[in-house]
């Protein structure tokens, strides 16, 4: 059992309920308990509530949260305990889309396209940091605009200063800490540099080049695919860490389908699905 006690039931927001239930599920808790000293107007979970939909989509995707032992949500027969209605098993639905989209990516993208990324990753492996030239290469690789004020600000820094920041970020994402935690720490360090204070696309590219076997790239197409699959990922602070935790859950609970896959493989599948809507089925709430 896991849970939390608050003074007022109004302190339990739908987003927090979804996050807390997902956290309880990730540690294998059979029951998630919410309690408040004032019991009137306690939030309820129902079939259409944001909290219910978010908890089903942000918890380990292939192992839905179990609300109680008597109302077990198992992989093959997922049931909403509030209504008794059967919901589709999310694992199969998500992995069906990922496998199809990954095949589309491999068939539709030149095998030479990632050569720039691979060269940057190899240099990062040797040096333990990324410099201005590496970041510039990733800007081109991600097809981002360089006609922005942050580019001038970044280029005005010495390469030594840039590497002093990226060296710490590289070390963070290579640590043995849980993937989501490592990603969150690395992303926070990258915030120190111009160009990395809003959005996660370039920062995720840098962190993935730093640890290509562990991290993954995030961008708008990935977000679109997640939305289509019903996997909640908000723009609240800490998004990249939550994104990597979500991918980690997919890999850990994907069973035989996840064998041989990396987080980077999932991000390429999501990227392809996000740009090719027919590759991703509508979300459950659509």
Max mean pLDDT range (10-14, 22-26, 68-72): 10-14
pLDDT tens digits, one per residue of 102-153 = 999 999 999 999 999 999 999 999 999 999 999 999 999 999 988 899 999 9
Q: What are phi and psi of 155, to 5 degrees?
A: -65, -20
- Its pTM stands at 0.69
- CA-atom Rg of the chain in angstroms: 20
Single out the residue of 222, 227, 228 nearest to residue 278, CA to CA.
228
Cite the DSSP H helix spans in the chain: 14-26, 50-58, 90-108, 115-127, 132-141, 149-155, 159-174, 179-190, 201-210, 220-229, 239-252, 263-275
CB 10 within 8 A of CB 37: no
CB 20 within 8 A of CB 58: no
Distant-in-sequence, close-in-space partners of 137: CB < 8 Å, separation ≥ 6: 116, 119, 120
Banded pLDDT at 23 (limits 50, 70, 90): low
Banded pLDDT at 1 (limits 50, 70, 90): low
Banded pLDDT at 12 (limits 50, 70, 90): low
CB 6 within 8 A of CB 36: yes
Where exactly are the structural domains of the chain? 2-87, 91-286
Distance, CA of 109 to CA of 226 (rounded, Å): 21
Banded pLDDT at 277 (limits 50, 70, 90): low
Check residue 35 and give its pLDDT.
Answer: 74
Distant-in-sequence, close-in-space partners of 106: CB < 8 Å, separation ≥ 6: none
Check residue 284 and give its pLDDT.
Answer: 36
**In this structure, how many other beta carbons lie within 10 angstroms of the beta carbon of residue 81?**
15
Residue bearing the bigger pLDDT, 92 or 207: 207
pLDDT tens digits, one per residue of 148-203 = 999 999 999 999 999 999 999 999 999 889 999 999 999 999 999 999 999 999 99
Asked whether residue 72 carries a pLDDT value surpassing 80, the answer given is no
Strand 2-6 with 86-87, pairing:
unpaired
Q: What are phi and psi of 35, to 5 degrees?
A: -135, 150
Distance, CA of 26 to CA of 242 (rounded, Å): 13
């Amino acid at each position: 059992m896991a849970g939390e006690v608050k003074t007022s039931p109004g302190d339990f927001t739908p987003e927090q309920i979804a996050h807390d239930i997902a956290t309880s599920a990730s540690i294998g808790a059979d029951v998630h308990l919410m309690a408040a000293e004032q019991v009137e107007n306690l939030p309820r979970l129902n079939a259409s509530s944001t909290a219910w939909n978010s908890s089903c989509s942000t918890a380990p995707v292939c192992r839905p949260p179990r609300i109680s032992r008597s109302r077990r949500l198992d992989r093959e027969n997922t049931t909403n305990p509030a209504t008794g209605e059967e919901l589709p098993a999310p694992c199969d639905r998500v992995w069906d889309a990922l496998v199809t989209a990954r095949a589309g990516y491999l068939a539709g993208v030149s095998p030479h396209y990632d050569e720039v990324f691979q060269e940057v990753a190899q240099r990062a492996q040797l040096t333990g940091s990324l410099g201005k030239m590496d970041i510039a290469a990733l800007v081109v690789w991600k097809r981002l605009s360089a006609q922005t004020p942050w580019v001038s600000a970044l280029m005005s820094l010495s390469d030594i200063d840039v590497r002093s920041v990226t060296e710490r970020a590289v070390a963070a994402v290579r640590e043995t800490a849980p993937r989501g935690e490592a990603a969150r720490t690395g992303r926070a360090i990258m915030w120190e540099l111009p160009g990395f204070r809003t959005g996660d696309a370039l920062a995720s590219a840098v962190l993935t080049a730093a640890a290509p076997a562990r991290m993954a790239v995030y961008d708008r197409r990935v977000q679109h695919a997640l939305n289509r699959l019903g996997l909640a990922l908000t723009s609240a602070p800490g998004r990249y860490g939550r994104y990597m935790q979500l991918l980690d859950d997919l890999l850990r609970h994907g069973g035989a389908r996840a064998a041989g896959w990396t987080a980077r493989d999932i991000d390429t599948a999501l990227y392809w699905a996000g740009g090719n809507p027919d590759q991703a089925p509508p979300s459950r709430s659509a």
